């Protein structure tokens, strides 16, 4: 079976900036331990991850050091986070496998995605990134760097950049080749580095972001994946499904998924984007999408999720068990 696992960037950091990289490694190791049952199945696995907090840290560090070092463009920040986070995942996965007397090549691939800058005119969705500024400095950056800024009540002004849709994952063939050779591939971090092709045919990174859910869906389609796992916080699930869930597995047909998406129109919610990406994947031939908190990953039995592949109409959203529930876990 071919599986794509996408992990929110917020799950890979510590909220305490003083702990830094050490706590990132702890968080990643915890996620990998939760994935061990999946690794034991010997499926072909691709791991993607978010990078919003990591990008924020790089931009904050760049701003703090602006008097002694050059600023970093957003595409380079994306490449930095792909490499660093992928490296930590590689180590954690290789260590886990070796503890179970298994060997598997684990590869991190810096990944670009082709986008259409004109999409920003048609779909003016923007994403806040980086540190907060006071009004005076925000105005300076608007004038000198041509940044667009947005006031965030209680915090200050924050830069915004276009949120664009991926049209093509540039490294798809390389990802597919690595998978077919038996490697576990870590790629498309942060949704991939958005690029355009200029008038001379050169690839150029741009100041924009791509939601990782859409890149995950597109990549899964391009490599003919069977299943997508979106690993997200329980709070994100409750944000859309509500706190009064009384089952351990919530199953939606595509029609019900359409209704759920329509109810959330206008909300810039990370899970809403996951739902839209899930629908696109299922409509393109995908067999199953599971949206799950990290705490439930380790509870997945070795073979259980394959039992749900008989239905191509379902998206499953899993949350923490409810004490009085009689439903079985996926």
Domain residues of the chain, as ranges?
2-26+44-225, 242-330
Residue 41, pLDDT score? 78
Comparing C-alpha atoms, which of 109, 86, 130, 115 is closest to residue 205? 115
Who has greater pLDDT, 117 or 94? 94
Residue 245, pLDDT score? 52
Residue 300 has pLDDT above 80, yes or no: no
Residue 297, pLDDT score? 83
Who has greater pLDDT, 124 or 26? 26
Rg of the chain (C-alpha set)? 20
Comparing C-alpha atoms, which of 305, 308, 312, 241 is closest to residue 271? 241
Who has greater pLDDT, 22 or 188? 188
State percent of the chain over pLDDT 90: 57
Distance between CA atoms of residues 89 and 87, nearest Å: 5
DSSP 181: T
For residue 170, the number of C-alpha atoms closer than 13 Å in the C-beta half-sphere is 17
Residue 43, pLDDT score? 85
Question: Tens digits of per-residue pLDDT, 85-113?
Answer: 999 999 999 999 999 888 899 999 999 99
Residue 251 bridge partners (DSSP): 316
Question: Tens digits of per-residue pLDDT, 149-159?
Answer: 999 999 999 99
Range of weakest confidence among 29-43, 60-74, 256-270, 293-307:
293-307
Give the mean pLDDT of the chain. 85
Residue 124, pLDDT score? 75
Residue 329, pLDDT score? 32
- Total H helices, total E strands in the chain: 12, 16
What is each CA distance from 90 to 25, 63, 81, 146, in whole angstroms? Answer: 11, 30, 14, 38
Who has greater pLDDT, 193 or 13? 193
CATH number at 2-26+44-225: 3.40.1160.10
Residue 79, pLDDT score? 97
Residue 324 has pLDDT above 70, yes or no: no
């Amino acid at each position: 079976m071919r599986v794509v696992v996408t992990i929110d960037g917020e799950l890979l950091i510590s909220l305490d900036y003083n702990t830094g990289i050490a706590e990132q490694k702890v968080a990643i190791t915890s996620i990998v331990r939760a994935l061990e049952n999946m690794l034991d199945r010997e499926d072909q696995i691709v791991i993607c991850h978010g990078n919003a907090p990591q990008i924020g840290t790089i931009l904050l560090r760049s701003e703090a050091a602006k008097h002694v070092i050059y600023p970093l463009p957003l595409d380079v920040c994306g490449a930095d986070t792909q490499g660093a986070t992928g490296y930590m995942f590689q180590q954690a996965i290789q260590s886990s496998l070796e503890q179970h007397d298994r060997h598997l090549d684990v590869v991190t691939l810096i990944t670009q995605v082709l986008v259409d800058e004109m999409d920003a005119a048609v779909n003016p969705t923007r994403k806040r990134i980086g540190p907060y500024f006071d009004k005076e400095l925000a105005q300076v950056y608007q004038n000198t760097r041509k940044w667009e800024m947005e006031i965030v009540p209680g915090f200050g002004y924050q830069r915004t950049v276009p949120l664009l849709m991926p049209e093509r994952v540039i490294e798809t063939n390389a990802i597919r080749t690595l998978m077919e050779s038996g490697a576990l591939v870590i790629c498309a971090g942060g949704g991939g580095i958005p690029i355009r092709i200029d008038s001379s045919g050169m690839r150029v990174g741009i100041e924009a972001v791509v939601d990782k859910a859409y890149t995950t869906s597109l990549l899964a389609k391009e490599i003919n994946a069977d299943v997508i796992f979106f690993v997200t916080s329980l709070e994100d699930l409750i944000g859309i499904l509500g706190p009064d869930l009384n089952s351990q597995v919530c199953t939606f047909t595509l029609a019900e998924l359409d209704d759920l998406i329509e109810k959330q129109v206008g909300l810039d919610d990370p899970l809403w984007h996951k739902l839209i990406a899930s629908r696109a994947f299922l409509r393109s031939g995908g067999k199953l999408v599971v949206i799950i908190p990290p705490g439930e990953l380790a509870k997945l039995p070795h073979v259980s999720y394959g039992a749900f592949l008989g239905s191509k109409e379902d998206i499953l959203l899993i949350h923490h068990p409810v004490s009085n529930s009689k439903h079985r876990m996926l």
